[in-house]
Amino acid sequence: MNGKIALIIGILIIAGGITGVVMYKTSPAQQAKAVVENFYSFEQKGEYSDSWQLFHPLMKEKFAKGPYIQDRAHVFMNHFGVDTFSFSIEEMKKIKNWRMEKGAKPFPIAYSMTVAQTFRGKYGLFTLHQKVVVTKVKEKWVVTWDYHKK
């Protein structure tokens, strides 16, 4: 009888652990972080068309697809003299009623994080830090950048 109870308890512990992991991986915060990871993974590989697809509609208004692809490749690859970069996501937090820029409609719920991109190129090793905010549009998480002037 004790063996059966131990087996049942073991199964419940495993099931609880799996449920916890699934809930964590599908939380809104983790979904938002995954979009940023996808965005910068595409950028890392020079797949700017794919990263552009993950932009919020306001970002797509700022950058037409063709010029965005050309600018990103030109600035990072040509000017910086790099082939790729590494990146990390830091300081993630949930924010409410955030605006991408003055006069823009606020996003009711969003997740803000800082992305650090580290480059090794003809100018040596350097890191750029950028504030990235992710919000939902029609049930899809999308990327925005901060355009507040300091």
How does DSSP assign 95-146, residue by residue?
EEEE-SSTTSPPEEEEEEEEEEEEEEETTEEEEEEEEEEEEEETTEEEEEE-
- pTM beyond 0.75: yes
Q: Which residues pair with residue 62 across a beta bridge?
A: none
**For residue 4, which amino acid is it?**
K
What's the rounded Cα separation, in Å, for the pair 139 and 35?
13
Walk along the chain (150 residues) and give the pLDDT tens digit of each residue: 677 776 666 665 665 555 444 444 579 999 999 999 999 999 999 999 999 999 999 999 999 999 999 998 888 778 888 878 999 999 899 999 999 988 889 999 999 999 999 998 888 899 999 999 999 999 999 999 998 875
